[in-house]
């Protein structure tokens, strides 16, 4: 008979027990773990469950997944382990065993699940529909963003044209009215393109910003066109301001006092003498 001290206080396993034991260094007997058990998953599942650890094979689409957990675990425990492997939350999963969908609260061992049993995993239809809808929205948003970007490129080119007209008008050059009409028409075409783009989310924000940008250019052209229609009044003001500044600099406002006026001073002396 084996000495009980070898077990370090742990009772030897009975013949009827299904648990396999192994001796660790130091003489301690512990429950044997299957090779390849995921320690993180095993620890999470076994923290509140007892019994031997079993391996369950789960088929999901074209993929095969293996999970290890105590036999007395629930099907919800299986789903929690599968969540990290498949990316599906437990609420998005449907587990089938022997052709029947299993509920979260059902226990594996009571449902006939044993070591190396096989299960089928399907994604919940409502969850799949939500993901497909989200993918559709993302695709439409990307398409709208690309369309707005295309308009932005054209508006960038037209902005250079507006800048050139502004330089000409500010320089006093008479610009043909046709140039303003053509530039405004080209900008309005871009506005129509933006209006035809159906956008949501970030793409909608981008479209709104580009519409505002085009409208600002149209307003700038209207202002330039009005100034271009009467350029001479602007040049006249420029000449007037320059003349006043030159006169101001040669008279009382200069840093040097004006030279004495001899004729005026002599006349003043004569008048003073005659007064006396």
pLDDT tens, position by position, 71-99: 999 999 999 999 999 999 999 999 999 99
CA–CA distance, 160 with 210 (Å, rounded to integer): 16
CA–CA distance, 263 with 257 (Å, rounded to integer): 17
CATH hierarchy code of domain 129-230: 1.20.58.120
CB atoms within 10 A of CB 63: 10
Alpha carbon 198 to chain centroid distance? 19
Say whether pTM exceeds 0.75. Answer: no
CA–CA distance, 175 with 169 (Å, rounded to integer): 7
Residue 127 is predicted with a pLDDT of 87
- Is residue 211 within 8 Å of residue 194, measured between CB atoms? yes
The residue length of the chain stands at: 276
Residue 49 is predicted with a pLDDT of 55
- Is residue 88 within 8 Å of residue 130, measured between CB atoms? no
Residue 7 is predicted with a pLDDT of 39
- Is residue 151 within 8 Å of residue 194, measured between CB atoms? yes
Domain ranges of the chain: 7-123, 129-230
Residue 50 is predicted with a pLDDT of 59
CA–CA distance, 106 with 29 (Å, rounded to integer): 32
Residue 128 is predicted with a pLDDT of 86
Residue 273 is predicted with a pLDDT of 42
Residue indicated by tokens 């396993």: 13
Residue 236 is predicted with a pLDDT of 41
Low-confidence ranges of the chain (pLDDT < 50): 1-17, 26-30, 34-37, 39-47, 234-276
119: enclosing H helix or E strand: strand 117-123
Architecture per CATH, domain 7-123, reads as Roll (3.10)
CB atoms within 10 A of CB 158: 18
């Amino acid at each position: 008979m084996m000495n009980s001290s070898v077990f370090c206080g742990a009772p030897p396993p009975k013949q009827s027990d299904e648990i396999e034991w192994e001796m660790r260094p130091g003489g301690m007997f512990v429950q044997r773990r299957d090779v390849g058990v995921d320690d993180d998953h095993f620890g999470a599942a076994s923290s509140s469950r007892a019994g031997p650890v079993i391996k369950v094979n789960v088929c999901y689409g074209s993929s095969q997944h293996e999970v290890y957990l105590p036999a007395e675990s629930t099907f919800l425990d299986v789903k929690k382990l599968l969540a990290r492997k498949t990316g599906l939350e437990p609420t998005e999963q449907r587990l089938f065993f022997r052709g029947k969908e299993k509920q979260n609260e059902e226990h594996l061992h009571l449902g006939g699940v044993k070591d190396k049993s096989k299960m089928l995993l399907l994604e919940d239809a409502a969850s799949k529909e939500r993901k497909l809808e989200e993918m559709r929205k993302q695709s439409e948003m990307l398409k709208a963003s690309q369309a707005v970007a295309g308009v932005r490129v054209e508006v960038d080119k037209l902005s250079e044209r507006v800048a050139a007209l502004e330089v000409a008008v500010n320089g006093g050059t008479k610009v043909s009215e046709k140039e303003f009409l053509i530039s405004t028409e080209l900008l309005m075409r871009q506005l129509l393109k933006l209006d035809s783009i159906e956008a949501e989310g970030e793409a909608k924000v981008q479209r709104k910003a580009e519409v505002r940008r085009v409208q600002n250019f149209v307003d700038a052209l209207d202002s330039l066109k009005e100034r271009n229609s009467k350029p001479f009044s602007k040049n006249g003001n420029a000449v007037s301001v320059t003349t006043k500044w030159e006169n101001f600099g040669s008279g009382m406002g200069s840093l040097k006092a004006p030279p004495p006026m001899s004729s005026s001073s002599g006349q003043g002396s004569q008048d003073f003498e005659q007064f006396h």
